[in-house]
Structure 1
Amino acid sequence: MQVLIADSFESAGLDALRAAGCEVTYQPAAKDAALVEAVAAAAPDVLIVRSTKVPEDVLRAGPLKLVVRAGAGYNTIDVATASRLGIYVANCPGKNSVAVAELAFGLIAALDRRIADNVADLRAGVWNKAEYGKARGLFGRTLGLIGLGGIGSAMVPRAQAFGMPVVAWSRSLTDARAAELGIVRAESPLEVAAQADVVSVHLALNGATRGLLGADFFAAMRPGAYFVNTARGEVIDQDALAAAVRDKGVRAGLDVFAGEPSGGKGEFHPDIVDLPGVYGTHHIGASTDQAQQAIADEAVRIVTVFAATGEVPNVVNLARVTPAGRTVIIRHLDRPGVLAATLDAISRGGLNVQEMENVVFSGGEAAVARINLEGTLTDAVVQAIRANDSVLDVQVIAL
């Protein structure tokens, strides 16, 4: 299997792919037009990326079967085009949770003690203990979490170790789960904003979360509260946050920004980082040795399972719901041509196969096929399937 890696990748991961029989092309600097050329030249089955963007022209440049995002999010990949082209997209969820949670808490502590400003002044020869000795402290302060997936969940025990009660909102959070974690479930992000002294965001970027935290959210935050975003820059209204920093004394720790560079280096100067009380880092949440090794191991697992079985762990672009309205279950003798005749009858009936599986009973004498169909399954089609001497039984189930 041909694998192109267009980002930095652990050397142990490269060795593991090669040991699994993959032919690996490693071009960590390939971006934009250079990536299109690399895909066209290498003709890979699999493309592995971290922060590198994968737009439509990259997906169409070669015979790609699978794109693996070596990380949790996948908003840098044109998933819609990949789906149209029949290209799997997979990610590596949960492997960087601890690393991102560690950075989020580092930013929280830094905001409270104004660590970056301390360092800057001391390097400039300024001693200002009178100013910097005014921290509020975190013990007893309420931490609000927006999103409670792997990273948000990793924040909970760390907050509790700091003596911080937690209030959280997530679409999937139930009262039972909140009680199990020892936290309070909020009904909305606005409720979290109103109750928390510190807000930390842990949302995946998608159509439902883009711009979710806007002017009303920041208006609901307490004056002087802290806001940390280690998720994606696009989930917030950055201008509204800047207004809250200026007008309400909100302090912000930001590891992510809208429109940030995709590469490891480049020119980038968002206006918000010039505001007093805003600390920015370089989208480094997942950038620990531990996290990168775990992500590389998972990316290798995805590729090797795909090569061996054709299945894709962590695939993100298969339909959860299809237009299928009927399932036809066919028990049949395990002989050549039975499924071909069945599919021919389905095709002549104007039906579209949405999903299909065929499994063999022990002993290899008989098998059962389950086929989900879109369209009107008529008695004539069912009878045509039954007419095959090797078909033992046909059952139809409405979905």
Structure 2
Amino acid sequence: MFQGISGHLETKAETRRLGADALIHPQNPIHVEGVDGIYTFLGMFHNGESRYFFSSAQIDYIRYWLNAMNLTSDIIPLPHSDCFVPKEELSTVAPAVHPDKKTLRKAVDKVKKVSNRLVQGVNVSLLARRTAFERVRKFWTTKVGAWCALDFEEWTGDHRVVTEFGYSLLHWKDGVEVKDFKHFTVWEARAMRNGQYVPENREHYNFGTSEEIKKAKLKAKIATLLSELRGHGPIFLVFHDPRGDLETLQRLEAPISGAVSELPDSIPSEGLFIVDTAALFAALMGEGQRTFKLQQVCNQLGIETEWLHNAGNDAFYTLLALREMAEGGPLDTQKEARWPTRKGMETALTVQLLEERPGLSSDEEDDMIGGGYSTTTGILKQ
């Protein structure tokens, strides 16, 4: 746990004075075994401003190491109190690794520029998304809890009729990944076919064999799944735009009471939390209000997809997208690394806006057949 944060890196000049070559050298006293580069922390203040820090534990270790190596006659004193930032002043703190001095300098400069823009004109919605992004990244690296992407497909003739359910689950046992993913079709809805507004792809599950199940057993299956997940600690239910799926879970009387969408700063020991990959990707794109469809997100993250609008496939790709972002490094440096030659990312993707039609779910609002999607694969036409 952080008691304080120190070692504020403000400018290129200050970074150079610290000796970038020494910082990333494997014989540096604060080098972490198995980590390629310098291990720092990215902290975000409550106003959205971010900075890179060293932890007080790292600073203490250096002080005592210098004395133990006879490089100082006495243990050098702590830095001035102005160099310390209490954890309470930060909305989130997450690890950040820089493999070389060029990456470190670029990261510091990038974060400072973005922070200055945010402070000058705070976008509350974007700030919330950025905070969620860094907390997800932080929690994922701890390898604690269970991350389970859920997705439903419903009949467009009556959204109360569930036609498919899929999930993709990942948790850790003794540090080793444990995965599970499944796809179910609902027996009572076997004759209720989509295809007019969204693709009908229930027969095209990519990751195993689909199981046909009656609605009553589906309710029990979901309840059992969520109950079993509680044994792994905190549960992170992952959705790509959770609105429709949460309504379906409530209609199926799933045990999700108490679920919250705002992630705490520190990793919880238990609880049920909602994670939205649409909002996370929007944070990566610098968007406070706009969201992107799963197909667009996967395209931009380099994830190949096939047969979207199959509940099992959508759940699998949703968790894959979350993982790609969670393991991609701090938000601003990740964006720079993914799209180094692209400027004005806000205009790089376009969303086809359609007239709102009564009865369409959130999944269908801009996914209608004839609105740019293949009727067979569910892939966005170019």
Give the TM-score of the pair, scaled to structure 1. 0.27
- Which protein shows a greater Rg? 1
